[in-house]
Amino acid sequence: MKINFTMIKPKDHILVIFGASGDLTYRKLVPAVFDLFLQNLLPDNFAVLGLGRTHISNDEFRKKMIEGIKLFSSFKNTPLETINKFADLLFYYTFNTLNQDDYKNLKNELFKLNSTQNTKENFIYYLATPPSMYEIIPKYLSGNGLNNESNGFKRLIIEKPFGYDLETAKHLNKALQNHFNEEQIYRIDHYLGKETVQNLLVTRFSNGIFEPLWNRNYIHHIEVTSSENIGVGNRGGYYEGSGALRDMVQNHLLLLAGLIAMEPPVIIDSINIRNEIVKVFQSIRPIKENEVENFVIRGQYTESVIKGKLIPGYRNEQGVDPDSRTETFVALKFFIDNWRWAGVPFYIRTGKMLPTRVTEIVIYFKPTPHHLFASDKTITGQYNKLVIRIQPDEGLLLKFGMKEPGAGFKVQEVNMDFHYTELSDTYLPSAYERLLLDCMLGDSTLYHRGDAVEAAWTFVDPILKAWKNNPDIKVHGYPAGTWGPDITDELIEGNNLTWRYPCKNLTNDDTYCEL
């Protein structure tokens, strides 16, 4: 495997993780930091300070993190001796986030570690806690001067969900900005850390063939699908208060639409890329509360038998209300009212317990103006499609018509495809690895800015309100293991057009997908 060693190393610092006894730290954060360590991308002087309510010693914390590294690092088979060397950089401090007085002790602890590790008073605070702590921690940090950058940087990483609706997101932005400057705040969306999501920019802006076609003159419509073949697992409690619209659309999927629809930035930097994304969000035509049913379909998975196994419905999942109306599936249509996209429908679909795990974008190009060949009139043959596969089997697929060999002129749809695995000697960093490194380097390009988060909520808010205020809007049941409610196809404008039904392999579609 070829690893891309960059010469730029972050400045010496301590990564302080609030919520260090949680799952995110164990599965994602510490394994990602370990992967950076192995690639020699951490600064010479560095430490992780884990904070949590659970009373455990440094050694116990290290032991648990080593277990996580062995399971979730990209380099699982690293010799224990090397893992132990990394574990020496991990420290734990028992801490009650809600107790204001504890922050004084935290400050002492942090400065003690800062002098033993020589980390120049540079601190990154990662909030891997429940969202109810997002206001409290920055407030108490700043109350103890731990936001002050006169002697070193102080950065704050906030996990999603960023707010519960527009009002709470605005409130949270304001509360954070009372204590930290916008430049110090890093709102993480792990989709932006995915290599294939970043590749959207390269595909669009480094290839002369795509950009001239990338507009209302040549594109008929655009589809974004993110399906999962698992249910809510042990996250029922969280998911009940969230649902698919908040969990996936407001952040990850609107972001994908933003990257597909944005204008070329003047230069590739944090300000310009993020400006262009915000402009897209601000141009999305609002869906009014009274028209939600025409633009949005919500569904919830019901019990079904898959391969002889009984799969419980959402309402029977742990932590879920037996009468729940929370959506585990959502499909919506919207328009971007600007010069490039006027009149082009965008469709987004996401759900749990669908047939397969896939995230992809499909660009449907307009058909030729006149059909010369009989078979050219079939629905699938008419639209050239560019499929941008985010995961799994990452790659690009172009579908177009070719002459079937033999007599006559029969057109057959064929594939031209590129799979990332073909670059097999290149190491693809995990999303958290990439994003953590960026924050360490002070690069916020791949993090959300406050105004973008609010613009995305502005679009989503009326839909949430309509669902809340109007219980007559249907929640359609769909059997676990199917592609959501039947009527989802009715959203798509155009003669007999349907969604693409993808498989886990990029080039297979409309065939049986394994659950």
Query: Nearest CA to 73 among 21, 29, 35?
Result: 35
* DSSP H helical ranges for 264-310: 270-283, 292-295
Token code pair at residue 111:
């400065």
Single-letter amino acid code for the residue at 160: K
Question: Which residue has the closest beta carbon to ligand BG6?
Answer: 247
Closest contact distance (angstroms) between CB of 431 and ligand BG6 is: 7
**Known active-site residue 252:** yes
Residue closer to ligand BG6 by CB (options 360, 461) is 360
Sheet containing strand 13-18, edge to edge, reads 90-94, 46-52, 13-18, 123-127, 154-158, 185-187
* DSSP H helical ranges for 383-449: 431-441
Side-chain-side CA neighbours of residue 427 (13 Å): 17
Which spans of this chain sit near ligand BG6 (rule: CB under 6 A)? 228, 247, 359
Residue closer to ligand BG6 by CB (options 10, 243) is 243
DSSP strand pairing (395-403 vs 385-391): antiparallel
Task: Give the position of tokens 């019990």.
Answer: 303
* Catalytic one of 252, 371, 448, 476: 252
Phi, psi of 400 (to 5 degrees): -150, 170
Residue closer to ligand BG6 by CB (options 230, 379) is 230
d(CA 493, CA 486): 15
Note the maximum CA span of the chain: 85
Residue closer to ligand BG6 by CB (options 97, 229) is 229
Single-letter amino acid code for the residue at 85: K
Closest contact distance (angstroms) between CB of 214 and ligand BG6 is: 25
Residue closer to ligand BG6 by CB (options 62, 389) is 389
Catalytic residue numbers read: 252
